[in-house]
Amino acid sequence: MRLWQLVVLTIFAHTAFNGSRVLVSLYAIHLHASAFTVGALMSSYALLPMLFAVSAGRLIDRSGARWPLFGASAAVALGVLLPYHWPRVETLYVAATLIGTGFMVFHVAVNQVVGAIGRAEERAANFSWLALGFSVSSSLGPLLTGFAIDAIGYLRTFLLLFLLPLTPLIVTWRNRPALPQPVERRADAGANRVTDLLRSRPLRRVFIASGLLNMAWDLYTFAIPIYGSRIGLSASTIGAVMGSFAISIFSVRLLLPIVIRHVLPWQVISAALLVSAAVYCIFPFFASVPPLVALSCTLGLGLGCSQPMVMALLYNTSPPGRQGEAVGVRTTVMNASSTALPLASGALGAALGMGPVFWAMAALLGAGAIFVNRRRARR
């Protein structure tokens, strides 16, 4: 399968996933659900993915990506269709769980396939194109959903989103063009254990860097609305500041396939950690819009270019036949961060203000950069 075809299929599935998060939360509010219920619905997207991402990766390693992609697309389609037929809050819990778990499997499988395409030196560029597709659908999903709700209502918007995962569903069912076959494991490889992956120094370094960068991303999404409201910014201004973050991510990913020819993955990851640490260190000292936009753009440039590099290193350093499992471990770390970080940051912010939250993240990212560069120097 050509890379562009995978990127297009991913845009369809991820647009449905992202759009559903907006639609489920707004429809729950429309049904007079409490804030706690809305939060619980959003947590339902990540709970099972956090628990079963490694198992999904192992399944993909053994069977290949075709049928997991088919099943994942079917789960996302079914999840967005259920509230159309049974419009109740209880149904939204089932829908959120199906959509979140289905897209987790899709995410692990599509990353495994992209890693199998081309030579090792091409993987960073290939993952850059996939990341660009994710940037497109991250913007398209909420935008499409918002306009559709106003134009055709909540229930018909569920039906509209149902149409999106049908494209990857049909393509994987027909298997034209064919997906890469699974890589055979060595006969002496023994039983799969996650601890084997965690004991690998190169992989452990990738997991740590990936976890820290994901925490930096999650903190921005969670903390900037709170920080902006506390310094007196309007909702539209906060949205504009966060929009500059998204634009910078898209821009750097658009250029990354060209830039990657001249830099090494670990150089980009080290720079991303240092840049992110510097941004979070000085963020609390600014309360006007222009510097906040500049800092958001700088952070977006750093975080936006790091994810493709992480995926390329993850695939290159994983044992043969266990790349899907390694992606599953990374997915588990990401979902655990997405669950725990808002709780910890909210508690710290409520007690001491948002400044210490930003500085604590800056310290973690700075320590991560030192750790990564020290390991590189030892090698």
Per residue of the chain (379 residues), what is the pLDDT tens digit? Answer: 688 888 999 999 999 998 888 888 888 878 887 767 776 787 788 788 888 888 888 888 888 888 889 999 999 999 999 999 999 989 999 999 999 999 999 988 888 888 788 777 777 778 888 888 888 887 788 778 888 888 888 899 999 999 999 999 998 888 766 676 665 555 444 456 777 777 778 888 888 888 889 888 878 877 777 788 788 887 667 777 877 888 888 888 888 877 777 778 888 889 999 999 999 999 999 988 899 999 999 998 888 888 888 888 887 787 777 777 788 888 887 777 766 766 676 677 777 778 888 999 999 999 988 887 775 555 5
Q: Which distant-in-sequence residues (6+ apart) come within 8 Å of 234 by Cβ?
A: none
Residue position matching structure tokens 């994942």:
72
Spell out the residues 6+ positions from residue 85 whose beta carbon is closer than 8 angstroms to its own: none
Contact between residue 125 and residue 3 where contact means Cβ atoms under 8 Å apart: no
As a whole number of Å, the CA-based R_g of the chain is 20
Phi-psi region of 276 (alpha: psi -120 to 50; beta: other; left: phi over 0): alpha
Per-residue pLDDT at 188: 45
3-class SS of residue 190? coil
Kindly report the CA angle at 184 between 179 and 188, in degrees rounded to 5?
Answer: 165
pLDDT at 167: 92
Tokens of 119: 């030579």
pLDDT of residue 177: 60
Specify the 3-state DSSP secondary structure of 180.
coil
Burial track 28-42 (b if 16+ CB lie within 10 A, e otherwise): beeeebeeebbebbb
Domains and CATH numbers, the chain: 3-174 (1.20.1250.20), 195-378 (1.20.1250.20)
Q: What is the pLDDT of residue 187?
A: 47
Q: What is the pLDDT of residue 12?
A: 95
CA-based end-to-end distance of the chain: 36
pTM for this model (two decimals): 0.74
Contact 95, 24 (CB under 8 A): yes
CA distance linking residue 156 with residue 36, whole number of Å:
26
